[in-house]
Structure 1
């Protein structure tokens, strides 16, 4: 180290006593610096810092000028216009962060008093509070209206109000009791019996006017004179790749306007036969004729109704809303809404559901309707489409005998009016058995009998089986086809089931397909079915919005989580007063630099991405994960898959917008970043948008119960790849930038970095800072487009998964 002379020390203007090092040749200092004593004779100079100042700079703090002519950074709350001779307080309506050469206008929706070092964005807060008040008022208003309506209806009935909760009952006095529970169950049973009596009156001998009108409505939906479908099938078979035969050599005819029951033991092939018949499963051999025309059945799925064994309806919708949606999407596009509404009225009336049409369907956890009512809603969803044939997979499953009979009586009445009805029936009572016109007995994948039930009894009697007059023929038949028929005859026979199958192959009538009918009219009927793509999309969107409105608690929870996440991140950096970046000063003032802080903004990007992933993933996965069964059912009946998907995606946008608003508002208020509220909100919105897209992909690939957890894990993983660590520069060096660019966090953080660095471009060497992390400056627009494109790409992948996975369930 050179030795300082006394003259150097006495002539030095630096606190350390060392001579100053010139930082320029003029008296002006760089933009953002304050140098009141400099002039042409005394240009800015660098002074070696005192030990105390050196400690401050290492700690990232600014220390006073270390000499008379050393420039200092303009204090926050002030600005220092060139050439830096004066430090002026920031005017009202503007803010001046640290190192400002000119004041920055606050902009609309922000508050900036005189001497403001940061802006306070209140525009988002105003929107947030206003929307929350409207949502809360609307929710309370709807709740009050429902309460008044329920109270009024109870008052009309008289007596203490009763509310059924689960299986218990709460009386008007506010306590539950075993007696009141029994009373409620008795009332429910009586109510169900009354409904059965109503349905019984709709038999062939005394058909109700509404049922006749319903069939007339059915007929208006076809192009031709003949209503109903007749199926001929020969040598139907289904063999797996493993060589196992599920169905073999089944022949027969199902006439239009008949009621068929398919019976057999568990695993006999009943459901397999029906799935092959409907075209839901491709046969490996055999031939179909539809109304005499050789054709695959799946071509007619728009005019075929399928009632699954489980009651697949949306619990958040009312009885009418479930049925109406099906009608709007599946009836001919030429029908007006008034005609569709009238058709739905008839369906509801014929199902004896008028008195509960505005009640929520509910589910097993939160029951609202009885089992019989839910089953009839399940059937009503199909009748709303005016099918020419109705297939039912165990329509009596899970019902008591009274409810089961009511359902079968309804199906019988429909068959009397021309609808072809085919039902898989398991262990029917004698009353249900007598509702069936014809039977198909299946065992081990082979037909044992096919034809009128009276002929079945004669056939089995000819094989030595006895039917006692007091017995239920269905019970005896089930014993026989299960291989337990020895107790119903007086002699022994080995391989009883195989014998009966071979006997039926011999005695069954010769197969003769009927003459071809008017296939052109039938095809026109099929082609005319279904609302337009646009209408189906709108109906799916409206339905989803109703679901969200009735799940308002989960919606409030989601936006609350978003608000809390934004507030916590804002609180974590609120002490920085908006100064979220510290870089190296521009040449030649880099020697005056304090400790740099390149990583805080990327760290905020990381934490913000993690918070958005945690807040948005569970809700995003529920968009599709909660109703796969509904989608499969509707896709199999001819609904537009893309219309359903687009409608569901659009319904998420309000949720995303509000969750993002709460997150962005509280983050902006507490963190006060330099990025404007509008740009920051757009970034957060698009990040939520991408998270929802990722969650949609997860929902397609996993089971419903695993979806929320797995989507959160995926959200956390993609948030890590945001350019913080490993940095985007590391990724470029490894040749893996493409992977970082597939994750929304990289685009989000890069845009956040750009917008918070740009106001400092005169003060700091921001190019070097961005280069050190691998980010690109001037890419805000590209980053926005990248997030939009990524969100769209995620949704395209999710759509491919929606239509490509479980294809057998969508046929």
Structure 2
């Protein structure tokens, strides 16, 4: 029996190696006369009206990449390389025209499932290790035809084949956190896409910021991937000559116009034939970039705009017609494997699997932040200072006790809101990347992200209330204490929901933080503690205030209308008649709870709707 298990595991490992080395679904990518336009606005503070103008980014780009080929798109900054790559990857919206086909068919959900896309910036969780990053990705992206252990083994196989074994237990890191090297981080990004064994792989500047040795290793890996039957398309800024000759095809762009498309080793001969040859031996990519910028030589006085126009005309005369003819001659439409609808149309994992994996990943990534000593220390210091300030403020100091409840509402209304505002803006790039690849449902991410924050979000206010409640000398009964605690926790959850909604709606973190502060200050002003007699024309705003409902419920949790307090020499007055309490009242608990429950769900619903704009969901 043991022997059978060992043989089975060995077989699976062999299958994983095969998956990595050979593409199961070859893809022929064709694009013809691709044009992309955007609308730009010109105007400013001093101008009365802003004019909307249309700008053309891509101007009729044509090309073709076959399985087993690497296409490198070169050009200066602003030439349209990334825009074209994004369009070919099915991730570009807007006014795009022309034809882009994958085995003769337009981009579809099936094709998206079979496509890998590596962005220029490595969007990775910095506190996860290399192994954790790839294992979590494998658990989310690989289909349920594989067991959990098989997915983990697959991730380990990718780690080995990408040469990441040495750093597999190191955290990925970020510009502000020391982790693996830039080349290793780039290989982790490539490994995430290779887990699904894509037939089509797009990479945006995979060698950016890397030294020549590391860049050569990255391109060598991509060349090997293409050699396994994959179609690889990449943008690259200024490759070395050794890298340049590794590309099967090269596309040179200048201001959105193609200047050359063809084999890399034939590029220099082509430009020499049309009268542009380097005066001294030089790196082909450097020479091509000079041409794309309209520079022939350092001592040339020719107008760059004229040179560019000449090169564009030469391309249309010498290459465009032959390229389009070749495009229609080669038949790349006979790969039937892409239409395995049973494999592609459904989510690769169930909702519950996505939720559980995202929850575990979220807890691992944010545990350093949630359980940081600084955060816990700050709350403890404020708790003890508050407890000392309100030390044993009994019923004879009713106004002071009310002040502590107001502080509860203000402090635990503002702190969770300001922290929650930064939740989605910080993860926006990650969410966009993962949703664009169809990794999980938005609902599973949203709920997992919310739940993963709850332990610390609720633990700290619980500790805070426990310390201050007993130090302040409130009613020493379990019912009163639990009532106060539950109100504070409800306030925390509602404020957190408001912060999530603001963060999801307002992309700019600074603007979102300012908006959240203004809203919470406004809520605090109308809560009923600072001003009891609010003018009637603005009195309605208090019904939108989480601070007002929290403050009211905190008073109700501690006092009854029939309770008394010393109001003179030997006299006792009803608390319900206290001047600061009477305008607020000690009734209407159910209405306040229902209002906060509606806000609790409503704010999160707004945040969810706002997040639907990020990335594109596969249905």
User: Which of the five TM-score ranges fits, normalised by the shorter chain?
Assistant: 0.7 to 0.9
**Equivalent residue for 1:540, pick from 358, 368, 392:** 358
Distance 1:481 1:418, change over 3 A: same
The separation in 2 between residues aligned to 1:683 and 1:577, in whole angstroms, is: 21
The separation in 2 between residues aligned to 1:503 and 1:214, in whole angstroms, is: 47
**Equivalent residue for 1:399, pick from 196, 207, 210:** 210
The separation in 2 between residues aligned to 1:333 and 1:567, in whole angstroms, is: 52
Contact 1:617 / 1:708 at 8 angstroms: preserved in 2? no
Contact 2:274 / 2:314 at 8 angstroms: preserved in 1? no
Tell me the residue number matched to 2:7: none
Tell me the residue number matched to 1:356: 167
Structure 1 residue 580: Cα displacement: 5.5
The separation in 2 between residues aligned to 1:772 and 1:479, in whole angstroms, is: 77
Tell me the residue number matched to 2:316: 505
Tell me the residue number matched to 2:19: 217
Tell me the residue number matched to 2:96: 284
The separation in 2 between residues aligned to 1:312 and 1:515, in whole angstroms, is: 33
Structure 1 residue 268: Cα displacement: 0.8
Structure 1: gaps (5+ residues) = 1-208, 582-598
Q: Is residue 635 from structure 1 mapped to residue 435 from structure 2 by the alignment?
A: yes
Distance 1:406 1:471, change over 3 A: same
Q: Is residue 648 from structure 1 mapped to residue 453 from structure 2 by the alignment?
A: no
Structure 1 residue 534: Cα displacement: 1.9
Q: How does 1:98-497 map to 2 (within 5 A)?
A: 214=16, 216-217=18-19, 226-241=24-39, 242-282=53-93, 283-293=95-105, 295-296=106-107, 300-466=111-277, 471-486=282-297, 495-497=306-308
**Equivalent residue for 1:753, pick from 552, 555, 567:** 555
- 1:773-810 CA distance string (max 9 Å, x none): 44354433443343333222222222223333x66999
Structure 1 residue 620: Cα displacement: 2.7
Contact 1:305 / 1:383 at 8 angstroms: preserved in 2? yes
User: Could you say what secondary structure the match of 1:563 adopts?
Assistant: helix
The separation in 2 between residues aligned to 1:808 and 1:644, in whole angstroms, is: 14
User: Could you say what secondary structure the match of 1:317 adopts?
Assistant: coil
Distance 1:494 1:547, change over 3 A: closer
The separation in 2 between residues aligned to 1:749 and 1:457, in whole angstroms, is: 76
- 1:554-610 CA distance string (max 9 Å, x none): 3x33333333333344433334325564xxxxxxxxxxxxxxxxx555533332222
Distance 1:370 1:214, change over 3 A: same
User: Could you say what secondary structure the match of 2:126 adopts?
Assistant: coil
Contact 1:263 / 1:439 at 8 angstroms: preserved in 2? yes
The structure showing larger relative contact order (alpha-carbon pairs under 8 Å, at least 6 residues apart) is 2
- 1:312-362 CA distance string (max 9 Å, x none): 111111011112222222222332111211110111111111121111111
The separation in 2 between residues aligned to 1:210 and 1:413, in whole angstroms, is: 22
**Equivalent residue for 1:661, pick from 459, 462, 468:** 462
The separation in 1 between residues aligned to 2:231 and 2:611, in whole angstroms, is: 32
Contact 2:35 / 2:58 at 8 angstroms: preserved in 1? yes
Distance 1:778 1:616, change over 3 A: same
Tell me the residue number matched to 1:720: 525
Structure (1 or 2) with the larger CA radius of gyration: 1
The separation in 2 between residues aligned to 1:808 and 1:539, in whole angstroms, is: 20
Distance 1:449 1:638, change over 3 A: same
- 1:188-239 CA distance string (max 9 Å, x none): xxxxxxxxxxxxxxxxxxxxx999955633599x9xxx52322112211111
User: Could you say what secondary structure the match of 1:248 adopts?
Assistant: strand
Tell me the residue number matched to 2:426: 626
Instruction: Give me the CA root mean square deviation.
Output: 3.4
The worse-fitting range, judged by mean Cα deviation, of 466-475 and 355-364 is 466-475
**Equivalent residue for 1:676, pick from 450, 458, 480:** 480
The separation in 2 between residues aligned to 1:276 and 1:634, in whole angstroms, is: 17
Q: Is residue 734 from structure 1 mapped to residue 537 from structure 2 by the alignment?
A: yes
Contact 2:27 / 2:200 at 8 angstroms: preserved in 1? yes
The separation in 2 between residues aligned to 1:475 and 1:291, in whole angstroms, is: 34
User: Could you say what secondary structure the match of 2:67 adopts?
Assistant: coil
The separation in 2 between residues aligned to 1:231 and 1:726, in whole angstroms, is: 68
The separation in 2 between residues aligned to 1:216 and 1:658, in whole angstroms, is: 48
Tell me the residue number matched to 2:493: 689
Distance 1:373 1:527, change over 3 A: same
- 1:453-487 CA distance string (max 9 Å, x none): 23433322221233689532222222222211257
User: Could you say what secondary structure the match of 2:524 adopts?
Assistant: helix
Contact 1:693 / 1:794 at 8 angstroms: preserved in 2? yes
Tell me the residue number matched to 2:380: 563
The separation in 1 between residues aligned to 2:556 and 2:599, in whole angstroms, is: 20
Structure 1 residue 404: Cα displacement: 0.8
The separation in 2 between residues aligned to 1:352 and 1:252, in whole angstroms, is: 33
Structure 1 residue 710: Cα displacement: 5.9
- 1:523-579 CA distance string (max 9 Å, x none): 44432453222211221111111123333663x333333333333444333343255
The separation in 2 between residues aligned to 1:252 and 1:543, in whole angstroms, is: 40
Tell me the residue number matched to 1:699: 503
Structure 1 residue 628: Cα displacement: 2.2
User: Could you say what secondary structure the match of 1:390 adopts?
Assistant: strand
**Equivalent residue for 1:790, pick from 590, 595, 599:** 599
Contact 1:264 / 1:442 at 8 angstroms: preserved in 2? yes
Contact 1:230 / 1:291 at 8 angstroms: preserved in 2? yes
- 1:645-704 CA distance string (max 9 Å, x none): 211100111011211111110121112323611111111111111222222234331434
User: Could you say what secondary structure the match of 1:265 adopts?
Assistant: coil
The separation in 1 between residues aligned to 2:61 and 2:465, in whole angstroms, is: 65
Tell me the residue number matched to 1:56: none
Tell me the residue number matched to 1:174: none
Structure 1 residue 768: Cα displacement: 4.9
Tell me the residue number matched to 1:576: 393
Q: How does 1:759-778 map to 2 (within 5 A)?
A: 760-761=562-563, 765=574, 768=577, 773-778=582-587
Contact 1:613 / 1:712 at 8 angstroms: preserved in 2? no
The separation in 2 between residues aligned to 1:784 and 1:492, in whole angstroms, is: 73
Contact 1:770 / 1:777 at 8 angstroms: preserved in 2? no
User: Could you say what secondary structure the match of 1:323 adopts?
Assistant: helix
Distance 1:386 1:677, change over 3 A: farther
- 1:53-73 CA distance string (max 9 Å, x none): xxxxxxxxxxxxxxxxxxxxx
Structure 2: gaps (5+ residues) = 1-10, 40-52, 565-571
